Homo-oligomer: A and B are copies of this chain.
Amino acid sequence: MDKSTLMLRLAAAGAALFLFGCASPPARTMDGPLVIAKQGSFFVGGRDVHSDTLSMLPAFASTGTITLDQMYVHYQVPLDAKRASITLIHGCCLTGKTWETTPDGRMGWDEYFVRKGYATYIVDQSWRGRSATDISAINEVKSGKAPAEKLPVVFAAAHEGAWAIFRFGAAYPEVFPGMKFPLEAQGEFWKQMVPDWSNAVPTPNPTVPALSMLARQLGGTVLMSHSQSGIYPFQTAVLDTKGIAAIVSIEPAACPDPASDMAPYTKMPILVLFGDYVDLSPRWSPRLKRCRAFVAAANKAGGRTELVLLPDVGMHGNSHMLMQDTNSHQVADWLLAWIDKNVAN
């Protein structure tokens, strides 16, 4: 082997080692192949429950033990991940799919954050998606053992009603001028919707203690919630602030009561983020107002809490589903800059 050939072989081996074995930071690219240090899925939480109405079919026993309240978690860790991870918590009538490939086929925040160096954990709330619901009461009523009123409170959001809630426009099928949700792909978006059982579960939602267990297990994660789950990271902080590196509450359905104890919310940086057209929405403008009151109260108590409307930082046209809007990567960049600035990495 001549010297040049040896050099080449050594260099190639070195490059392979760099990419596949060593601790030095790899190049972070936003397209091209994605290098994952580790990925997988697991459950957090859950409890065993006895039921006598699990089945009315001869092939499956009516009586026995099932496990409920667990929360499904799927994760990807990039090479040389930053110290804090990001945990993504979807909203009403949706699942962890919220954060994956957008309806119009662009990269979701799940992969975008990984490519930017963050280990990313995506949950299906308890009683949603891959996290079990309890159908016992349905069989109890169907078999005549309980009255109809004992059926669980469940609902599905219709396209027409969801339209205004997601702020695509003031009312179905109107569209706010310049609105950035990819409506040409709305068919794919409606397929993401699933029934909501959150009114059939205890308060706080079992997702909250599960998030607390996850945060403590991860030892430092940004709890990034959306809409219905907006309040969950705050409720998690009330249980235990351990492991919560920051809270990013995107378009929360509710913020904490400003008259409540603010102490848990002074332990980590907090961002409450809204998109555009909020003042045009009778559903969202009062919520924004209440979140402003919370932010003022938390800061008065010594917190580091911010409320940002995307138009105020130069981004216009964002719907409630801003992680899927056509400028979703721009919004992600802004969010990651906020995290980089506020969370020790």
Contact = CB atoms under 8 A, between A and B. Distances in A.
Interface residues of A, number: 88
Given A36-B36, A188-B42, A148 B157 contact: no
A108 B40 contact: yes
A57 B12 contact: no
Contacts of A60: 155-158, 161
Contact of A111 (B35, B39, B142): B39
A133 B34 CA distance: 34
A159 interface: yes
A48 B42 CA distance: 33
Contact of A11 (B8, B101, B194): B8
Contacts of A161: 60-61, 64
Nearest to A21: B32
A195 to B, nearest CB: 4
Contact of A7 (B4, B66, B158): B4
B32 A35 contact: no
A24 to B, nearest CB: 12
Contacts of A27: 16
Contacts of A151: 138, 141-142, 151
A315 interface: no
A144 B148 contact: yes
Contacts of A40: 100-101, 105, 107-108, 111
A328 interface: no
A153 B57 CA distance: 8
Contacts of A67: 159, 187, 190-191, 193
A63 interface: yes
Given A130-B130, A141-B148, 16 more contacts: A15-B15, A19-B19, A21-B32, A41-B108, A42-B101, A42-B105, A51-B158, A54-B155, A57-B155, A57-B199, A64-B159, A66-B156, A66-B158, A72-B97, A130-B192, A133-B194
